[in-house]
Amino acid sequence: MTIVNQEMLPELPPPPALARKWSGQRIAGTTLMTIWIVSAALMVAWLFTAWNPEFMQRYAPRYLNGLMVTLELVGKSIVLGAIISLPLAFMRMSSNSVLSMIAYAYVYFFRGTPLIAQLFLIYYGFGSFRTELEAIGLWGFFRDAWNCALFAFTLNTAAYQAEILRGALESVPKGQWEGGRALGLNDITIFRKIIMPQAMIVALRPYGNEIILMIKGSAIVAIVTVFDLMGETRRAYSRTFDFQTYIYAAILYLIIVEALRNIWNRLEARLTRHLKR
């Protein structure tokens, strides 16, 4: 009996239709990449020719201040949202129908409506109840546009993070709980030492996407007079009427997103290095 080694068999060529499909995709991808590279090169060349030292000397510090406001706003809202998302995720997974329905309604509302609408509801809506808020001592918080933006962003990202966490926790096999109990561990230890680390690996990439979306979405706070990066850009444009102001802002946003993407890729590679062995 002759045993045939699969490695000795010649590789069959792909079907003609599949080969044409992949060839077309490569051509389209190469063309788009070429267009992006050429466009970026032209943009850089134009920026060098249109460089205005006086503009940069005057507005660069304001851009940096706005950038710090953006990072602070997004950073605090992400952390506060993560704290709120933990009980929300447990409520969504709860067998208690009342708790589950409350969490579902919260997540459904904040994921189903635009962030700018939520910001306006808080900024302008709470402003309509000044007398009532003063009576309970909350007007000092809601009269500040930055506080309203932080509140809206926190509630919004908490809904998204709750769904990310819920999906990650439910992706961990039930046998992990049974294995932990077989070792004599209590449920809190099992969750902290076994379930949560595995869930975080699954949730890591969606969390990074959520942070990136929050950074890009934070530009809307300029509408309610928060002088973040976009707010400083709008103020610079209103004084110079130079559309380069928005190009500089776009470049700064791109740098932030690209830096975060690379950091997240390195973090994910480090945390999942045991899976690649």
Q: What is the pLDDT of residues 21-45, one digit of tens each?
A: 556 677 777 887 788 787 767 766 6
Exposed, middle or buried, 228 (CB in 10 Å: 0-12/13-18/19+)? buried
* pLDDT tens digit sequence for 167-225: 999 888 888 888 888 888 888 888 888 888 888 888 888 999 999 999 999 999 999 98
- Residue 73: predicted pLDDT: 95
- Residue 200: predicted pLDDT: 87
Do 169 and 161 touch, CB atoms closer than 8 A?
no
Mean predicted confidence (pLDDT) in 124-148: 88
CA pair distance 117, 112, nearest whole angstrom: 11
Higher-pLDDT residue of 101, 52: 101
Reported confidence tier of residue 14, pLDDT bands at 50, 70, 90: low
Q: Which position has the token pair 């928005």?
A: 246
Global pTM exceeds 0.85: no
- Residue 207: predicted pLDDT: 92
Contacts with 165 (C-beta within 8 Å, 6 or more apart), sequence order: 85, 86, 89, 199, 203
Do 158 and 84 touch, CB atoms closer than 8 A?
yes
Report how far Cα 86 is from the mean position of its chain's Cα atoms: 17
* pLDDT tens digit sequence for 83-131: 999 999 999 998 899 999 999 999 999 999 999 999 999 999 888 888 8
- Residue 59: predicted pLDDT: 83
CA-angle at 229, arms to 223 and 234, nearest 5°: 50
Q: Which two tokens stand for residue 236?
A: 């610079």
Q: What percent of the chain is predicted at pLDDT more than 70?
A: 86
Q: In the chain, what are the domains?
A: 66-275 (1.10.3720.10)
